[in-house]
Amino acid sequence: MAQDEGLITIDNKVSSYLGTGWTNAPLEKENLITCKNLLSMDSGLDDSLGDAVSPENLEYLTDAGERWVYHNVYVKLQDVIAEASNQTWTNYFNAKLKDKIGLSGSWIMLDNLSVYFSNTRSMARFGLLISAKGKWEDLQIVSENFLNQATSTSQDINEAYSYLWWLNVKNSYYLPQTQFEFNGSLISNAPNDMYAALGKNDQKIYIIPSRNLVIVRMGEAAEDSNFALSTFDNDLWEKINLLID
């Protein structure tokens, strides 16, 4: 939405909005990191230092675009939006999205993570907005062109990842906390065209264009949950398929 308004361009370097020194990387390496790199999880910053995003915790590991890893540094995009819009992230979010589609909930810092605490109905509203290519009733909230990009592979490493969305119809995928490439689709029991928001503690929004379906799951995390997939995904889709086939 900020890009649609002309406030930012995701291909611009992050330091264009936050200034230099937002990481502890050498300046020439920091300036390689774009907003798109943060959205795509290929900033090149070292993920082994934990979730804190203060400069001393954001060390250079590889050049931006050379390594995919699920890393909390993407939350710096909230600071980018705040700087570009000259207001707090929460105020921008509320005015541009929350109030327009009737979400409940709020952003809360949980340790070093910025987490949106809400309910099932609000998750469904967000899913329906994305499923409708960014349109809410007669209002285009976010451009269809951007959402087409956001649900197509955004980098050359993890085929199953785009701009914070996970994609099912791919030949391989990476998961958080590993550099191992898994063969096959992300969730084998799910439809090929499914894409998903795989949230913290196994909270899920599945979108299936071919079925005109948005499916939301909230509840306790599976024992093997790793910030994205768990065995729960395939187990759940085995049951869902009995209802929709």
pLDDT per residue over 76-105, tens digit each?
A: 999 999 999 999 999 999 999 999 999 999
Tokens standing for 39?
């959205």
H or E element that contains 147 = helix 144-150
> What is the tens place of the pLDDT at every residue in 206-221?
999 999 999 999 988 8
Residue with tokens 């980018």: 80
Q: Where are the domains of the chain?
A: 15-76, 87-150, 153-245
Q: Of residues 228 and 193, which shows the higher confidence score?
A: 193
Q: Given 3-state DSSP classes, what are the helix, strand and coil percentages for the chain, each rounded to the nearest 5?
A: 35, 15, 50
DSSP code of residue 97: I
Q: CB atoms < 10 A from the CB of 67, how many?
A: 20
The pTM is what? 0.94
SS3 206: strand
Local confidence band at 225 (pLDDT 50, 70, 90 cut-offs): low
Query: What CA–CA distance (Å, rounded) separates 74 from 79?
Result: 10
